[in-house]
Amino acid sequence: MGSWSLDDIPWDRFDPARVDPRLVPLVKAASLVEANGAAYARHLCRVFADDRTFQQSAGAWGDEEVQHGAALARWASLADPAFDFDSAFARFRDGYRIDFDHDVSRRGSRSGEMIARCMVEIGTSSYYTALGEAAGEPVLAEICRRIAADELRHYRLFYKTACTYLTRERLGRWARLRVALGRIAESEDDELAYAYYAANETTAPYDRRRASRLYYRGAAALYRPHHVERAVAMTLKAVGLTPNGRLSRFASAAAWWALRLRARHPLSVAAV
Ligand SMILES: [Fe+2]
Ligand SMILES: [Fe+2]
């Protein structure tokens, strides 16, 4: 059971006049990705087959991710009554499949799996913080505030579990950094682009390049330097490096520059 439910959201305060239309496609896409949380939770329970305590935490984590999807989908339906979450989610699941049929992590170890999960939670906690701060509509701001707090708690769960398993598996800093950078690079794969497509496009064929550019252009524009600095510090901590030294400042500057490039990326295609 999570720390909040959909009934805690003040839906009656929804203000259509304050909806930013640029955020609606991003919220729709996020609702699909979050709703896939149950499948990830089942996979984690297989990877940690003999760890009952972590399995219970993973089950609760999956429920919370699914609830994030439900809250975002409900807000998207208020902002755009034509949004049909069930159809969009079916389209997303039909077109984007992850092979979860393994009992071992594809990161090579349980601690590696936890570091990869930390990267995802760093991404989501910073994203929902940025989205909530950009949202002028009060219900979306409230949903994002609650989700961002959950994502931060998820990061702590996976970080703590990683530390527990690191004492047995002895994954060095470079190996951890490789896992972290590999997971960040995977963010470029189909998942977010396909979610953006499935949530916002119903007739045109999938064009990954176009969907990816549309998604990242919208998402990158939400970030401010303090979001990036915090995400970099959390990343360095997860891989066992000093979170607030010279490396942190350099990595934050590089990440901020990369985000600015993405936010300004010209679209050579028509908007979805
Ligand atoms: Fe989430
Ligand atoms: Fe999460």
End-to-end C-alpha distance for the chain, whole angstroms: 37
Determine contact, residues 75/16, Cβ cutoff 8 Å: no
Tens of pLDDT along the chain (272 residues) come to 578 999 999 999 999 999 999 999 999 999 999 998 888 899 999 999 999 999 999 999 999 999 999 999 999 999 999 999 999 999 999 998 877 777 878 888 999 999 999 999 999 999 999 999 999 999 999 999 999 999 999 999 999 999 999 988 988 889 999 999 888 888 767 889 999 999 998 788 999 989 999 999 999 999 999 999 999 999 999 999 988 889 999 999 999 998 888 877 665 443 33
DSSP string, the chain: --S--GGGS-GGG--GGG--TTTHHHHHHHHHHHHTHHHHHHHHHHHTTT-HHHHHHHHHHHHHHHHHHHHHHHHHHHH-TT--HHHHHHHHHHH-------SS-TTSSHHHHHHHHHHHHHHHHHHHHHHHHH--SHHHHHHHHHHHHHHHHHHHHHHHHHHHHHHHH---HHHHHHHHHHHHHHTTSHHHHHHHHHHH-SSSPP-HHHHHHHHHHHHHTT--HHHHHHHHHHHHHHTTS-TTSHHHHHHHHHHHHHHHHHHT----S---
Distance from the alpha carbon of residue 113 to the mean position of ligand 2, in angstroms: 14
Closest ligand to residue 144's CA: 1
Q: What is the distance, to the nearest Å, from the Cα of residue 261 to the centroid of all Cα atoms in its chain?
A: 20
Tell how far the Cα of 246 is from the centroid of ligand 1, in angstroms.
31
Ligand 2 center–CA 221 separation, angstroms: 22
Structure tokens at 150: 């959950």
Distance 216 CA to ligand 1 centre (A): 18
Take residue 271 and report the two structure tokens written for it: 């908007």
Write 91-95 long-range contacts (CB < 8 A, 24+): 91/198, 91/202, 92/32, 92/36, 92/194, 92/195, 92/198, 92/199, 93/36, 95/194, 95/197, 95/198, 95/206
**CA 178 – ligand 1 centroid, Å:** 24
The pTM of the full predicted model, rounded to 2 decimals, is 0.92
Distance from the alpha carbon of residue 262 to the mean position of ligand 2, in angstroms = 24
pLDDT of 69 reads 97
Between the CA of 65 and the centroid of ligand 1 the distance, in Å, is 4
User: Pick from 150, 153, 130, 155: which is nearest to 140 by CA?
Assistant: 130
